[in-house]
Every structure is written in structure tokens, then in C-alpha cells.
């Protein structure tokens, strides 16, 4: 999921570009003895995409203007094959025209890219070694299938035995299906990137229909079901992917995430440990393992897991952030501040770290600095519900009740399951003397599992 990896290194930076680029190319495939309309289309489509991706790659490379100050932070060195593999997964090929006359298959297609966006995505995916490997493997699978098609075309041309011809024809059709399956997987991946999950599911299912042993298609289908919240279906797909290929560490990682979301901490940990057994250098799994151990209350193992993630990836901002959470809970505030600041240094757009740092300064009584940090968190991520909640609490403590209510209502609007925001909103209305609304919001918080709200309601004789 085999062209030899090119040794040329391309420097990927994050420049700002003003225009999109559209490439249009056409390809005509002359059908051979073994070809049908279906196999001819699969080959023609594969070839026109290769031409388009090569042209887009050259364009992106020529458009990159690496600045001196970006060299240490904002670029990723990737091979030509890796860049093409990622680009194939994050761009959409549009068919403009296609014709089949029984002898030739003509196809005309285009790819439109925003170089700034594509380069951001290349840098993002290129930093994820597991995802990068998967996309390169998809390209190589297609390369292998096309090489197999060329080999069988030559052998069929000289094969005399009808029995042998039938056997090779079957192999030929299988290779053609594999070529098409790789294309459908890329389409599914692209749809997933665009959050078009229903389309992604259809595309991955088509890939599986063409190649029932395509473990990567099952894995990606599982990831899509996870994104849609269908965790049971996701786990079913992950198990099928593992059955077909037990050595894909990312599948165990993602299955662990699904179990975590189902509340099955023990199974999640087992999945993460299996992923690490397969790939001991997979920093993301150590990070997820740290979350599981933290939720389980095994703080020492959580710390070790986060430290392992940082050792493998010293620029892992969120690992520093989560390690800061643990030291904050342990009462080591100075250590927590250092870790949050390191997280921000590594990733100035880490909204979580700004929010967590704001909570510390609020607890220390430095309200003005806390407000600045909460506002910075919201500026970075305007959809971050808890930052609105935390800022609302601070304004409530300052006596600005109306501002607090607006912020807490925004937190709930962004995340209707934010039980903490419901409880805090109830507390604010209590300060206004509105007991009816206080109880209303406490009940909603309690229904969502907020223990503090549940205790208050129970103590005061209310049910929820």
C-alpha cells in the first residue's frame, strides 16, 4: 500500500500564493487483445493522472520560494515519490471528457490546486510517517499493478494455448481491478480530507469490491466510520484490515482511539501497545497511550508515555501540553508552566496550550494575563468551546455577568455536549438570582454526566 524511490529531495515550505493552478491533459489508450472497455478506462485514467500529477509536482516545486528564516521550522524534506503520493491523495481529478470506440479509450482530465493549501497539506501529512508510508504504498501498489498489466500484455501476445490465455486473462483483469482500486482509495482519502464522509465510504467500498484483500481500504473505511461516530462499524473494519495485514501499526492505533471513544480504556491500551510492538518509533501511539493511562489514573505510566513521544519527536507540541496537564494536576505549577510555554514555542498555534496556561494564571490571580491567553486561544481556534467557557468564567469572577453569559452560551453553541459550560452557566444565573435557570442548566449538565451538577441537584432534592 514499485517504482524505486527517487533520490532527489524537494524542499517543501509554506509560502503564500495568490493564484490557483489548473492543469488539463488528455490521454488515448489503444486497447489490446485482453482489454475490455473497463480495463481500457482503468489504464487510460491511471495514465492521464500520472501525467497530471507529474506536471503539478513540477509546478509546485518551481513555485516554492524557501526563505532563510523558514529553513529550521516550516519545511519538510520529501522525495519526489512522496510528494506525488501525497498530492494524489489530497487533490481531485475531474474528468472533462471520455470516449470509447471499441478500439481506443480517450480521456481528458484536469487537476486544480491552490499551491499554498497543497504545500500546507504536504507538510502536515509528510510529518506523519505512518500516513506518509500508507500513501506511498498506495502509489506503489498502482505502479505494481500497471507493471503487471504491461507484463501480461506481452505474454498474451505470444501465448498460444487457450488454457494459458484464459489464465493470463484472469490475471490481467485482476491487475486492472487493483489499478482501479488504488484510484478509488485515493478518491476516498481525498473525500475524507474534505470531510465528505458519505462519499468517502462509497469510494472505499468500491475499492474493496474491486480488491477484497485491500487492507488499507478497510482501514480507511474504519477511519471514516470513526469520523462519523459509528464506532462499532469502525472497529469491525479495523479488525478486517488486521485480519488481512496484521502488521499495520496505524490500524491498531486507530482502533485504540475508537475503543477509547467507546469508553473501553483497557482495550484501547491493548491496541496502542500492539501498535508500539509493531512500530516502536511511532510517537503518536505513545501520545494516545499517555491519554489512556492518564484517564485510567496511572499517572506514572502516562508521564512515561508522553516522554517517550517527545523523545521520538522533540517537536511534539501536544505531548508537552498534555504533560503540562499532568504536572499541573500534581501541583507542580512551575513545571506545568514550563511545559505549556514549550508547547507554544514549538507550535504558536497550539490553542490548547494557551488555554491551559490561562487557567494557571487565573488560579494564580493574574486575571488580566489569563484573559489575554484565553483570547489568544480563541483567536487561533474560534471553534474551541472550552476557551469560551474559561473566558466566561473569568468574566463572571470579575462581575461582568452579561459578558460571561454570552461567552458560555457560545461555548455551548460550539459544543452542545459541553457539560462544564452548562454547569458554569447555571452558576452565573445563580449569581444573578435566577434559580429557575440555574436548575435548568444544572440539570442539562447532569444529564451530560457532570458530577458536580449531579451532586448539587441531589443535595438540593432535584432529579434530572
In the chain, what is the straight-line distance between the N-terminal and C-terminal CA atoms, in Å?
51
Determine the Cα–Cα distance for residues 250 and 225; give it in Å rounded to an integer.
Answer: 16
pLDDT at 71: 38
- Scanning 113-262, the segments in alpha helix (DSSP H) are 115-126, 129-158, 162-193, 197-210, 215-228, 231-244, 249-261
- What is the domain partition of the chain in residue ranges? 13-127
CB atoms within 10 A of CB 125: 23
pLDDT at 130: 75
| Residue 436: CA count within 13 A, CB half-sphere | 0
pLDDT at 63: 66
Nearest to 325 by CA among 303, 351, 350, 301: 303
pTM of the predicted structure, to 2 decimals: 0.80
Across the chain, which has 464 residues, the per-10-residue mean pLDDT values are 25 45 94 93 94 84 50 54 83 93 96 82 77 85 94 92 94 95 93 93 97 95 95 97 94 96 94 96 94 94 97 95 96 96 96 97 94 97 97 94 96 96 96 93 96 95 92
Residue written as grid cell 519538510: 76
Amino acid at each position: 500500500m514499485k517504482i524505486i524511490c527517487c533520490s532527489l529531495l524537494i524542499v517543501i515550505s509554506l509560502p503564500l500564493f495568490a493564484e490557483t493552478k489548473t492543469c488539463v491533459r488528455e490521454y488515448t489508450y489503444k486497447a489490446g487483445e485482453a482489454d475490455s472497455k473497463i480495463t481500457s478506462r482503468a489504464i487510460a485514467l491511471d495514465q492521464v493522472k500520472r501525467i497530471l500529477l507529474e506536471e503539478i509536482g513540477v509546478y509546485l516545486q518551481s513555485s516554492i520560494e524557501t526563505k532563510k528564516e523558514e529553513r529550521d521550522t516550516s519545511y519538510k524534506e520529501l522525495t519526489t515519490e512522496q510528494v506525488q503520493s501525497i498530492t494524489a491523495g489530497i487533490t481531485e481529478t475531474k474528468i472533462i471528457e471520455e470516449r470509447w470506440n471499441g478500439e481506443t479509450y480517450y480521456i481528458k482530465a484536469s487537476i486544480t490546486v491552490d499551491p499554498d493549501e497543497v504545500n500546507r497539506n504536504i507538510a502536515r501529512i509528510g510529518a506523519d510517517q505512518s500516513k506518509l508510508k500508507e500513501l506511498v504504498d498506495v502509489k506503489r501498489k498502482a505502479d505494481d499493478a500497471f507493471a503487471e498489466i504491461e507484463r501480461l500484455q506481452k505474454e498474451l501476445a505470444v501465448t498460444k494455448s487457450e488454457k494459458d490465455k484464459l489464465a493470463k486473462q484472469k490475471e490481467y483483469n485482476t491487475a486492472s481491478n487493483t489499478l482501479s482500486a488504488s484510484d478509488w482509495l485515493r478518491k476516498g482519502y481525498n473525500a475524507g480530507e474534505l470531510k465528505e464522509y458519505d462519499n468517502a465510504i462509497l469510494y472505499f467500498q468500491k475499492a474493496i469490491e474491486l480488491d477484497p484483500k485491500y487492507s488499507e481500504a478497510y482501514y480507511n473505511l474504519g477511519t471514516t466510520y470513526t469520523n462519523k461516530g459509528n464506532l462499532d462499524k469502525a472497529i469491525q473494519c479495523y479488525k478486517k484490515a488486521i485480519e488481512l495485514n496484521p502488521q499495520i501499526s496505524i490500524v491498531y492505533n486507530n482502533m485504540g482511539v475508537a475503543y477509547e471513544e467507546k469508553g473501553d480504556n483497557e482495550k484501547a491500551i491493548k491496541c496502542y501497545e500492539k501498535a508500539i510492538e509493531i512500530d516502536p518509533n511511532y510517537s503518536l501511539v505513545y501520545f494516545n497511550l499517555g491519554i489512556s493511562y492518564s484517564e485510567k489514573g496511572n499517572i506514572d505510566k502516562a508521564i512515561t508515555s508522553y516522554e517517550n513521544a517527545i523523545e521520538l519527536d522533540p517537536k511534539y507540541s501536544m505531548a508537552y501540553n498534555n504533560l503540562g496537564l499532568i504536572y499541573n494536576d500534581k501541583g507542580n505549577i512551575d513545571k506545568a508552566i514550563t511545559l505549556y510555554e514549550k508547547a507554544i514555542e514549538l507550535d504558536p498555534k497550539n490553542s490548547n496550550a494557551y488555554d491551559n496556561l490561562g487557567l494557571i494564571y487565573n488560579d494564580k490571580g493574574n486575571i488580566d494575563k489569563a484573559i489575554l491567553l484565553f483570547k489568544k486561544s480563541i483567536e487561533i481556534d474560534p471553534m474551541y468551546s472550552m476557551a469560551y467557557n474559561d473566558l466566561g468564567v473569568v468574566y463572571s469572577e470579575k462581575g461582568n455577568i452579561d459578558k460571561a453569559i454570552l461567552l458560555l452560551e457560545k461555548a455551548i453553541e460550539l459544543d452542545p455536549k459541553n457539560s462544564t459550560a452548562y454547569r458554569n452557566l447555571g452558576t452565573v444565573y445563580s449569581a444573578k438570582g435566577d434559580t429557575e435557570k440555574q436548575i435548568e442548566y444544572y440539570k442539562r449538565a447532569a444529564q451530560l454526566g457532570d458530577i458536580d451538577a449531579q451532586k448539587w441537584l441531589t443535595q438540593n432534592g432535584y432529579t434530572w
